[in-house]
Structure 1
């Protein structure tokens, strides 16, 4: 059962307190669990679902997590954000970067992959700190999403089983992936 946004938000301070008690950063916890640092942060903010096979490693990394919190983290989250968060400078700049570079990124995706998009569901994200050649500290944000081609919608005869008489139109529709994908 999916929890409400209010329930998820109520757990966040308790989850963040457990993290603080561990004395570990998101990256430390990620290294111990095999998750990305962004995914660990999402778990702690109730923006991702903790999988049963990952729970023991997370509990070992963050001992203050109670049975109740772990159980709550294993429920499907209510993924959302407060609309005012875009005014926070770091988030505003990330949005600005995507908006500024987005059209070019889209063109390159289409040129290299075809007509499609990057999934934000089958998706990995990490944030890394690196030293540039000039000695300045740099932020590296990696978006790693599965490519999803748009499908051509055709009316080829395609017989679906167990179609109700009221849904006759579906009986003649099918989707096929773009055949130009390499």
Structure 2
């Protein structure tokens, strides 16, 4: 019987806790971003074969069984109750509040299109503000994807149908 995503994630988080390492430290040791490390350990991203040895070196308690599980395509999902967690709620609130303006600037700078969440890098950093207080810096680094004009002559499936 296949182990549930939450069970695997729980085991992976236990390995992280046992290591005593932060996401940032694991990221440095693997060459990944801190958020991607968290995504891997929560089974929200797929571990690639060439990264597995680096992750296992950073987290020696990772078993081959867990590594194999991490290399399977994950079910990328979220718990709908997660929005009740204050940090997640505030992130959602910030995106909703600033989203329209961000969209306008993307369109102004790039044209009619979107930011990919697949070809995407994300990191969380800590900096000191001008007032000396800690500040959170979230970086969303996504590939720009322009919307395309849908011309029939470019629609491969339609061209194939016409050729039959």
> Which TM bucket (shorter chain)?
over 0.9
Q: Does 1:112 align with 2:109?
A: yes
RMSD over aligned CA atoms reads 2.0
The structure that is helix-richer by fraction is 2
Match of 1:42 among 14, 39, 43: 39
After superposition, the C-alpha distances for 1:120-156 in whole angstroms (9 at most, x for unaligned) are 0000000000011210100000000000000001123
The ranges of structure 1 where at least 4 consecutive aligned residues each deviate by more than 2 angstroms after the TM superposition are: 155-163
Number of residue-to-residue matches in the alignment: 162
State the alpha-carbon separation in 2 of the partners of residues 115 and 81 from structure 1.
Answer: 29
Question: Distance between the aligned counterparts of 2:130 and 2:88, measured in 1?
Answer: 26
Q: Secondary structure at the match of 1:51?
A: coil
Matches of 1:152 and 1:76, distance apart in 2: 32
1:15 aligned residue? 12
Q: Secondary structure at the match of 1:118?
A: strand
What secondary structure sits across from 1:124 in the alignment?
A: strand
**Structure of larger gyration radius:** 1
User: Any unmatched runs of 5+ in structure 1?
Assistant: 173-182
TM-score (norm 2): 0.93
Distance between the aligned counterparts of 2:66 and 2:4, measured in 1?
12
Q: Which moved more, 1:71-80 or 1:7-16?
A: 7-16
1:74-93 residue CA offsets vs partner (Å, 9 max, x unmatched): 00000000101001000000
Q: Following superposition of structure 1 onto structure 2, how do residues 113-152 of structure 1 map, counting pairs within 5 Å?
A: 113-152=110-149
Q: Which residue, out of 43, 51, 55, partners 1:54?
A: 51
**Which structure 2 residue ranges, 5 or more long, are not aligned?**
none
Structure 2 residue 82 is the aligned partner of structure 1 residue 97: no
1:64 corresponds to which of 61, 64, 78: 61
* Alpha-carbon distance in 2 for matches of 1:66, 1:27: 21
| Cα separation, 2, equivalents of 1:86 and 1:160 | 40
TM-score, normalization: structure 1? 0.84
